[in-house]
Chain A
Amino acid sequence: AQSVAQPEDQVNVAEGNPLTVKCTYSVSGNPYLFWYVQYPNRGLQFLLKYITGDNLVKGSYGFEAEFNKSQTSFHLKKPSALVSDSALYFCAVRDETDSWGKLQFGAGTQVVVTP
């Protein structure tokens, strides 16, 4: 079975400081990993994904994530946070052995960026 953990319910950061949102996963086979962002009263927007290859993945709005197989982690990062980055962030994993390709989502991390 696949699972995802986002250990922080909320992350607070000052504008201009680095932002990190943590994610760890558990799968049977190789993972496909995704980050999504949700703004208030909106659906989820895709940010980036790791399928294979380079462990550092770059995505939308200046975000990037690093895949670490030994630590089973896929942390989301942004070098300099903006107030507009305040939102709910979801990590998701898909196990390559899952015949239906279903996604398992974490509980979400609320990011609050203060001016």
Chain B
Amino acid sequence: DVKVTQSSRYLVKRTGEKVFLECVQDMDHENMFWYRQDPGLGLRLIYFSYDVKMKEKGDIPEGYSVSREKKERFSLILESASTNQTSMYLCASSLLARKQETQYFGPGTRLLVL
């Protein structure tokens, strides 16, 4: 079975702090994704990566950056956290080879920015 893990289930940070969210997958997937989930808005794509050191902006990249130094690990960085970044963050991974491949999700990190 595919396993996607996220470093924290819950985080509380203060405005202006630099925040790192880590995601690791164990299935040698090329694609990795970061979403944020907000009530009534569903999931919105922040960034994705299709290979090591490669990244592409999603629909809402402002205020975020990402890092992918190893194939299995994809990090989301909030350079200076703000209260409007309080949300549930979900990481996902999938095979690149075919576009119909399923995305598999981690358990999520619920971030509260005070």
Contact = CB atoms under 8 A, between A and B. Distances in A.
Interface of A: 4, 9, 32, 34, 36, 41-46, 49, 51, 90, 92, 94, 96, 98, 100-103, 105-108
B64 interface: no
25 contacts: A34-B103, A41-B9, A42-B108, A43-B108, A44-B90, A44-B92, A44-B105, A46-B104, A49-B102, A90-B42, A92-B43, A94-B100, A98-B99, A100-B56, A101-B31, A101-B96, A102-B45, A102-B48, A102-B58, A105-B35, A105-B43, A105-B44, A106-B42, A107-B42, A108-B42
Interface in B79-114: 90, 92, 94, 96, 99-108, 110
B103 A43 contact: no
Given A90-B43, A100-B50, A108-B42, A51 B108 contact: no
Interface of B: 4, 9, 31, 35, 40-45, 48, 50, 56, 58, 90, 92, 94, 96, 99-108, 110
Mostly, the B contact residues are strand
Contacts of A103: 45, 103
A9 B44 CA distance: 17
A114 B58 CA distance: 38
For B9, B92, B105, B106, which residue has the most chain A Cβ atoms within 10 angstroms?
Answer: B105
A83 to B, nearest CB: 23
Contacts of A46: 102-104
Contacts of B31: 101
Contact of B42 (A98, A102, A105): A105
Contacts of B43: 44, 90, 92, 105
A96 B99 contact: yes
B42 A32 contact: no
